[in-house]
Structure 1
Amino acid sequence: MIKIPKFFHEILGEFQTKSTLVVIALFVLISGFAIGILSYDEWKGLPLVKQIITWILFLDISGGIVANLTKGTDIFYDRYPRKRWIFIAIHVQPVILSWSMEISIHYGVMICAYTLISAALLNLIRDYSIHNLLAGSLTGLGLLIAAYLGQEAPFFASTLFIFYIFKVLYSFSVFHHKGGQNEH
């Protein structure tokens, strides 16, 4: 087990294995390389500041997809319910992405509102047996919304909207390691 420095607890939890860190890094690198090539024409003409912000959002969202599924991050947020609420509240990336990719702000607001309201609901019912089933359903509906809105948005943006919904509603909102809190 690798002890994670306190500064990175909100991203990676208090501990991780070497293999989970490798998987997170590989996912970010491979998906970043793929989206960078596939959507080059969409982001190459953006002002440099907006390109940098767009790629920082990509790193945050894509890394979070995998990191939030890890035991270390999952258990960290289970131990600190207040930090779960803060995590939900600060995740307004679709609005920022709409600005940085120069697309209609309405797309980002709709994706963000749907996801944050759903995440809040899931956080409220975290201890109920229907939680995982509802999380899957809300994630699926969110992906449907993102796919529909994605018809009008650039590939890069629609991909990040999909990644964001999956990250917040499924990777983060579902407690994947119940019963494993004391096992490191």
Structure 2
Amino acid sequence: MKPLRIPKSLHDIFGERQTVGAFAAVLLFGGLLTAALGLRFPELTNSLPVWRSALALVLIFDIFAGCIANFTASTSNFYAARKNNRLLFIAVHVHIVLVALLLNANIGYSIAVWSYTIAGAFIVNALAGQRTQLFVAALLLCAGIGGTSLLPDVQPYMLIVGILVMMKVLFSFAVDHYGKAIVNDGR
């Protein structure tokens, strides 16, 4: 199957060329999981203005879809070739804090997840080209999931969003999954 050429305005999300299957999987995963979260936790948007609910759900969709998009070869390779873009992408990911503010959710939890995720992503990104990058990313992701799951008074929907923020930025995005940044050391 011939890959789709992605418009330049969407390169930061999908890379330059994406298969139809990967493109559909990203959108379906993001859409279905966002819908499932909203159906399972109707209190998520109860008593909120429509604009806040809609904006929060769009940001949640972006988090969920980004988890999968960042695992595609096209997106991973796009950022492996553009180190400054990767640093900027990591730095601007304040989604979970915005979601918490929009939903009147636990802001302390969202700041803790955001801080840990961004710090971990910068550490993992600094290991680009090293064989330990994937291991360190997995270690930090597992520690983050375990640690944040133990925090008190976290709404279940925010726990899900927080875990997937860590997956998206710390592991899915910060890791060069296809070895485009690995320096050939002759082995």
Q: Deviations over 1:70-107 (max 9, x none)?
A: 01100000010000000010001121122112123211
Residue from 25, 32, 49 that aligns with 1:23: 25
**Matched residue SS, 2:96:** helix
Q: Which runs of 5+ in 1 are unaligned?
A: none
Change (3 A) 1:128 1:180: closer
Aligned to 1:178: 179
**How far did 1:42 drift?**
2.7
Aligned to 1:109: 111
**How far did 1:176 drift?**
1.2
Identity %: 28
- The alignment of Structure 1 onto Structure 2 pairs a total of residues equal to 180
Contact 1:68–1:171, Cα closer than 8 Å, also in 2: yes
The amino acid of 2:114's aligned partner reads C
**How far did 1:179 drift?**
5.7
For 1:66 and 1:30, how far apart are their aligned partners in 2? 13
Aligned to 1:65: 67
Query: RMSD over aligned Cα, in angstroms?
Result: 1.7
Aligned to 2:160: 159
Does residue 89 in structure 1 map to residue 88 in structure 2? no
For 1:11 and 1:100, how far apart are their aligned partners in 2? 23
The amino acid of 1:49's aligned partner reads W
For 2:28 and 2:94, how far apart are their aligned partners in 1? 25
Contact 2:97–2:107, Cα closer than 8 Å, also in 1: yes
Does residue 169 in structure 1 map to residue 170 in structure 2? yes
The amino acid of 2:31's aligned partner reads L
**How far did 1:142 drift?**
1.1
For 2:158 and 2:55, how far apart are their aligned partners in 1? 12
**How far did 1:127 drift?**
1.6
Change (3 A) 1:105 1:144: same
Contact 1:88–1:168, Cα closer than 8 Å, also in 2: yes
Aligned to 1:121: 123
Residue from 150, 156, 175 that aligns with 1:148: 150
TM score, norm. by length of structure 2: 0.90
For 1:32 and 1:142, how far apart are their aligned partners in 2? 22
For 2:62 and 2:148, how far apart are their aligned partners in 1? 18
For 1:75 and 1:94, how far apart are their aligned partners in 2? 25
**How far did 1:168 drift?**
0.6
For 1:78 and 1:102, how far apart are their aligned partners in 2? 36
**How far did 1:140 drift?**
0.5
For 1:156 and 1:46, how far apart are their aligned partners in 2? 16
**Matched residue SS, 2:150:** helix
**Matched residue SS, 2:39:** helix
**How far did 1:180 drift?**
10
Contact 1:111–1:146, Cα closer than 8 Å, also in 2: yes
The amino acid of 1:84's aligned partner reads R
TM score, norm. by length of structure 1: 0.92
The amino acid of 1:158's aligned partner reads L
The amino acid of 2:166's aligned partner reads I
